[in-house]
Amino acid sequence: MADVTTTGAVDALGKIETRGIEFIPETERHSKPREMGFVFFGTQMTYGSLVIGALPVAFGLDWLGSLTAIIAGTILGSIAVAAMAIMGPKAGTNSTVTSGAFFGLRGRYVGSFITQIIDLGYFAMILWVSAPPLVQAGHMLFGWPDGNTATSVALVLVAILVLGLAIYGHATLVAYEKFTSYASLVCLVLLAIFCLPNFKPAPSASAFPLVLGTWWPSWMLAVTVLISNAISYAPFAGDYARYMPTKTASSKIFWWPFGGMVLGCLIACGIGELIGLSVSNPNNANSLMFNAVPHFLIIPIVLIGLIGNASNGGMVAYNGMLDLQAILWKLKRVQVGLVFSVIGLIVGYVGLIAYNMTNSILALCSIVTVLVTPWTVINVIGYLRHGRQFRASDLQAFASGGGRGMYWYKNGFNIPAVAAWLVSITIGMMFSDTAIYVGPLSQAAKGVDLSFLSAAFVGGILYLILDQLFPSAAKIRDDHAVNAIETV
């Protein structure tokens, strides 16, 4: 078995965290549920949230339709985040390694695959929404160039800040999130105040008609975008929950991140909606909003906004480094971080310079939702069916030099979970309609997006059925139910 009791690790503000995906011993667990609330609240106080909040307006919805879509999508997506957080203290590791209990030690690569798409995509999005305001501010105040060269320089500078935070790790990110929770909130409120005089209750019907022709399909599309925004954080929950004591009350672990996500999204995306209804083009709200800001406040607002974006990007990059380490587990977290940095910068550059940003974000949101929703459903069902317990050492057996342990299943894969996920995402993608892929059933409900709903339903039901049929899955489930399984 892997050694799960090593000591002497570093996790402190301003110091590079030495832990990666290995088990966190009880003596090193110093985090509290309310800190997760600040983390998930602070990560929403970004320009990226403004972009997401303005999208329902770009879909042709008025202020009430946009607001209700933000509320509905955020609540539904945040439930998944909170449910995944509950597993962290018992497993003592991040969510993708934890998923090995249900998908198998090799099947955990499903989670790694999903999170790399999320992390690289959203890391690129942070660069996309952070670089243009810097360039716009420099051009407005100092007459600096605003072409691709200037944007590329700004993109690299933002990437250095974000990746630096991620490499320092858990304690630095938690402290940084507390600071940005307040500073970035002030920044977003100021932006809302300056844009408010130009507020209109609805976008121009001629310039921005209902994107799917009628109200309900367009509203459902907006809800899907907001669900994907929230649910994309579900694989991140274990990154922070793993530092909480094993006996931390599950109710606190659930409600603090849930509350932080919901409140943060409602405020930030709500302000994004307001700005989208105050500018001429909600697809370009992040640049146009500065036309309403007094020149003497542009630099402070841009810098504070950048600080908030860096917190969100830092969380995404930190998760990406941990999950890439689940694949490249022989490397240290910092070494893996350098690999992630190079890939992320390339993706960010190509996405910003070569392609339309809004189309990229919409495609990413849809694909992420289809991939991560059934994966999350299967993890939560598996956790409940396995008696809410883990054998922590066996989750780490892949790093023990040929060890297999309890979660080896069949050649490292739990066929019921992996098969259910593959079938579910195939069904979900058939209902998808994005800028880069249109499924054959995308118009089956007259434009209403059924991609993630069908994926979640099929994945959950199929997993329950197959889990009853496969002996290897039943044996582990029964062992969890009967025996006292170690969690520390």
In this predicted structure, what is the pLDDT of residue 402? Answer: 58
CA dihedral 359, 362, 367, 370 (to 10 degrees): -160
Q: What percent of the chain has pLDDT over 90?
A: 38
In a domain, 20, yes or no: no
In this predicted structure, what is the pLDDT of residue 481? Answer: 58
Distance CA 375, CA 350 (A): 28
Residue 49: give the domain boundaries: 30-359
**What total number of domains does the chain contain?**
1
Q: Above 60 in pLDDT, residue 107?
A: yes
Contact 386, 477 (CB under 8 A): yes
Distance CA 192, CA 292 (A): 10
233-281 per-position pLDDT tens digit = 898 899 899 999 999 999 999 999 999 999 999 999 999 999 999 999 9
In a domain, 192, yes or no: yes
In a domain, 405, yes or no: no
The CA radius of gyration of the chain, in Å to the nearest whole number, is 22
- The residue written with tokens 């497993």 in the block is 91
In this predicted structure, what is the pLDDT of residue 54? Answer: 95
In a domain, 428, yes or no: no
In this predicted structure, what is the pLDDT of residue 71? Answer: 97
In a domain, 6, yes or no: no
* Residue 167 in tokens: 């490499």
In a domain, 46, yes or no: yes
377-389 per-position pLDDT tens digit = 999 999 998 888 8
In this predicted structure, what is the pLDDT of residue 5? Answer: 44
348-405 per-position pLDDT tens digit = 777 666 665 556 665 766 677 789 899 999 999 999 988 888 888 889 887 766 567 8
In a domain, 77, yes or no: yes
* Residue 136 in tokens: 């716009």
List beta partners, residue 410: 413
pTM of the predicted protein model: 0.84
* Residue 16 in tokens: 């590079």
Chain mean position to CA 395: 23
In a domain, 139, yes or no: yes
CATH number at residue 320: 1.10.4160.10
* Residue 109 in tokens: 């690569």
Using alpha carbons, select from 184, 229, 259 the residue that is nearest to residue 33: 259
